[in-house]
């Protein structure tokens, strides 16, 4: 019995691929029938294929997903978050390997394992909501604007998607991810934080980034990770500095960036005053006039 949701999600990822195949097979049976009503059932099934494919990918990143995002079901929204964790999450690519050698004249012999094919964020955005529009009875406004059903267009879209999804699901390898993890204890709550840092500069990927913002799942702390020399990962606390406004104090208070929102109350350790982040009104720099204001 798995009680942890992250563990459960990771375990289910293989099942989602099987589910995607089942939904695609059913969609195809509906497309074979030359009747408008069946197209809508095919649209529903194709949407389920898209969902299952994204849930399968999400299973690779359960440890990187914030707790608040674990329940997201909308595929585009979920994939958007996955892409922040791993910019390769929706990329297809050939998986190949070669034997390493110290010999400088060695010519590596690459062996291909096959291609891992992924549905892209663009494909989800282009199709998921567009198909959803056919799953509801059109409102009077839609009917008046003639934004009802166009069965011919729907069939063209579904036929194309069925071919594309078949191509994705027939790939020999799937769910392959390059993981290069970094672990440290959260300075605020002590929880162990482990994240994929393969996207950081100097790593093994082409689409590397300069920094990764990593959020603790158990508290408001967040960290800025950058690549150092060699394999070193430099971790900085993601803080904002708040200057105590009490006269004759001016102490700098450091607050986690994620916590520094309207209404936050903090006690200044220097003068013991309780401060609150509130809305304020400023006169813009260089925009002050000498006119009188009544």
CB contact set of 67 (below 8 Å; sequence gap of 6+)? 217
Quote the least distance from Cβ 68 to Zn ion, whole Å: 14
Out of 29, 112, 194, 251, the residue judged to bind Zn ion by CB under 5 A: 251
Out of 53, 85, 131, 221, the residue judged to bind Zn ion by CB under 5 A: 221
Binding mask of the shown chain, residues 265 to 294, with x at each position contacting Zn ion by CB under 5 A? ---x-xx-----------------------
DSSP class of residue 200 equals B
DSSP string across 16-82: HHHHHHHHHHHHHHHHHS--HHHHHHHHHHHHHHHHHHHHHHHTT-TTTS-GGGTT---HHHHHHHH
Question: Which range touches Zn ion (CB under 5 A), out of 56-64, 98-106, 166-174, 190-198?
Answer: 190-198
Judged by beta carbon, residue 22 or residue 220, the one nearer Zn ion is 220
Quote the least distance from Cβ 252 to Zn ion, whole Å: 9
Using CB under 5 A as the binding rule, the residues of this chain from 197 to 216 that contact Zn ion are: 216
Q: Is 249 in the site for Zn ion (CB under 5 A)?
A: yes
User: What is the C-alpha to C-alpha distance for residues 96 and 9, in angstroms, rounded to an integer?
Assistant: 28
User: What is the C-alpha to C-alpha distance for residues 52 and 147, in angstroms, rounded to an integer?
Assistant: 29
Q: Is 244 in the site for Zn ion (CB under 5 A)?
A: yes
User: What element of type H or E holds 141?
Assistant: helix 140-144
Judged by beta carbon, residue 78 or residue 221, the one nearer Zn ion is 221
Bridge partners (DSSP) of residue 236 are: 224
Q: Which residues bind Zn ion (CB under 5 A)?
A: 186, 188-189, 191, 216, 218-219, 221, 244, 246, 249, 251, 268, 270-271
């Amino acid at each position: 019995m798995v009680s942890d949701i992250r563990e459960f999600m990771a375990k289910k990822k293989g099942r989602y691929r099987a589910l995607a195949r089942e939904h695609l097979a059913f969609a195809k049976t509906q497309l074979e029938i030359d009747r408008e009503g069946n197209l809508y059932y095919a649209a529903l099934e194709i949407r389920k294929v898209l969902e299952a494919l994204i849930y399968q990918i999400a299973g690779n990143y359960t440890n990187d997903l914030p707790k608040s995002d674990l329940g997201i079901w909308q595929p585009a929204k979920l994939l958007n978050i996955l892409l922040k964790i791993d910019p390769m999450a929706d990329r297809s690519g050939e998986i190949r390997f070669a034997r390493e050698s110290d010999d400088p004249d060695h010519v590596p012999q690459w062996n291909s394992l096959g291609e891992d094919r992924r549905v892209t964020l663009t494909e989800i955005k282009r199709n998921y909501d567009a198909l959803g529009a056919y799953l509801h009875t059109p409102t009077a406004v839609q009917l008046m604007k003639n934004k009802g059903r166009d069965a011919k267009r729907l069939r063209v879209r579904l036929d194309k998607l069925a071919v594309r999804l078949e191509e994705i699901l027939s790939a020999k390898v799937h769910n392959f991810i390059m993981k290069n993890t970094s672990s440290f204890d959260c300075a605020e709550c002590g929880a162990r934080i482990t994240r994929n840092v393969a996207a950081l500069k100097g790593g093994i990927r082409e689409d590397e980034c300069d920094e990764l913002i990593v959020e603790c799942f158990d508290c408001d702390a967040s960290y800025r990770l950058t690549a150092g020399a060699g394999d070193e990962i430099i971790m900085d606390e993601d803080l904002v500095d708040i200057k105590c406004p009490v006269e004759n104090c001016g102490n700098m208070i450091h607050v986690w960036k994620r916590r520094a929102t309207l209404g936050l109350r903090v006690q200044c350790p220097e003068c013991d005053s309780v401060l609150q982040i509130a809305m304020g009104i400023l006169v813009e720099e260089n925009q002050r006039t000498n006119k009188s204001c009544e």
